Amino acid sequence: MSCGCKTSGDSAHSCGTKSANGCESVNTCGNSYKLSVFDWLSNVQNPAQTRCDFVEVRFKNDRKSFFKNVNNIPLHIGSVVTVESSPGHDVGVVSLTGELVKIQMKKKRSSEENALKIYRLANQKDIEVWQEARKKEENVKIEARKISHRLGLEMKITDVEYQGDASKVTFYYTADNRVDFRMLIKEYAGAFRTKIDMKQIGFRQEAAKVGGIGSCGRELCCSTWLTDFRSVNTNVARYQQLSINPQKLAGQCGKLKCCLNYELDSYLDALSHFPSSSTVLDTEKGRAFCIKIDVFKKKMWFAYVENSMAWYDFDVDLVKKMISKNKRGEKTLPLEELKQPELSLPTVDLIQENSVDRFEKKKGFNKNRNQNQNRPNNNQNQGQKKNRPERNDRPERTDKGERQERPVRSEKSQKPVQNNNQKPQKNQQPKPQLEKVEALNNDAEKRPQNQPPKKKFKKKFPPKKDNNA
């Protein structure tokens, strides 16, 4: 047996219950209704012997009505019932029971005398007819929009709802002006072969029926919990110091957002302690007017009439003193002198984790600790290295003059460059350039030690060619 707890009103979701107790998981299924009311009196025992005979029954989307349980049927939240309608009968889901129903009836001004009756718990035949009628609603809505467009009517078919016994279909539409749909009803009656009922709704009710996600990232308030629509005007945005931008202030219905009214009372209470936004101050330098008000910081910004680009912010208490001084006929000091320098408050790190490389420091500390532990071993190794005999293969170099005298270089310079086609000759005489190098070396030895030796540049030879290449 279906509990019909989906927001679209269909019964595709089944809780698997066929008893009068209704849905087994009331907390998850019974309270998942759109615009559901939390029964905070469910665990409270009724001191009176008589119990409430009225229940709240929910139909498709946000349509709800109150019915009288004449036959004293044991009903719970989630029970599918067959109720009285005009004409025939309708099928709905019980959404609220107990003493809280009377409070809701007083809130919505529903009379107990004209309340309709509950016939019985819905049987399997009632539910099958109800499900078949629900499946036809989408196709009927598309066809109804085509007919209204063909007749040239300035209206929009928002939603279609079949009655539980499929004897009547209700069309919800929105329009800016009055619509003459006498010809439209004849077309609908001939196309759908059932009784037609037309109901005009507002744009906010349309958004509540369609549903969606708001700019805050949550589901629309009008389709989840908001039951009454209060008027919202642009003064609400001005009190909250918001820019009058229709694209940001309008919701999906095209009207101003309902959430602008939520914090309005808090802003009005805070603004009651502020001077008027049209306050004008008389200073020695000229007249100054108010430009901006910050409710949270409790500050007001002023600027001169001649120079409105320079703004000066003051606390509300100081502004009140300046206004009282002007009332006595005295002019206040210029705004530049009254402006106090802002003191930079020291920032306190509550988490104490500002350092990004705090983990790296800990690693370096452990590394130094390991190095200190291994230091005596390294010293012993160094002592062993010092005791080793040093190689005396190369002679010690004392000064630059001795370093330049390298007979190995001269021997290498004696070797001529060999070509691939020519063979090396054994008895080859050295070049005359070598004699000049030896003469220069002898002159360097004859010079006194105070004079630095002249820089000598070595001649670069081309690289040797490999004979085996």
pLDDT of 157 reads: 93
Q: Is the pLDDT of residue 170 over 60?
A: yes
What tens digit of pLDDT does each residue of 354-380 get? 666 666 655 545 555 555 555 555 445
pLDDT score recorded for residue 438: 53
Torsion of CA 211, 216, 218, 220, to 10 degrees: -30
pLDDT > 50? residue 119: yes
- Token reading at 48: 């009176």
Higher pLDDT, 418 or 263: 263
Higher pLDDT, 388 or 458: 458
User: What are the pLDDT digits (tens) for 309-345?
Assistant: 888 888 999 999 999 999 988 888 888 888 777 666 6
Could you count the other beta carbons within 10 Å of the beta carbon of residue 117?
Answer: 12
Residue 31: per-residue pLDDT = 36
pLDDT at 184: 92
Q: Residue 229 contacts by C-beta under 8 Å, 6 or more apart in sequence?
A: 202, 204, 205, 222, 258
What does pLDDT average to over the chain?
76
Predicted pLDDT at 446: 52
d(CA 439, CA 429): 18
Mean pLDDT of 70-81: 89
Is the distance from CB of 29 to CB of 71 less than 8 angstroms?
Answer: no
Position 149 scores a pLDDT of 93
What's the pTM? 0.58
Strand order in the sheet with 299-304: 280-282, 287-294, 299-304, 312-315
How do 312-315 and 80-84 pair as beta strands? Answer: unpaired
Q: Does residue 52 contact residue 113 with C-beta atoms inside 8 Å?
A: no
- Look up residue 59 and give its two tokens: 């139909």
For 183-202, what is each residue's pLDDT tens digit?
A: 999 999 999 999 999 999 99
Mean pLDDT (whole number) for 400-419: 47
Report the distance separating Cα 197 and Cα 189, nearest Å. Answer: 10
Mean pLDDT for 248-260 is: 91
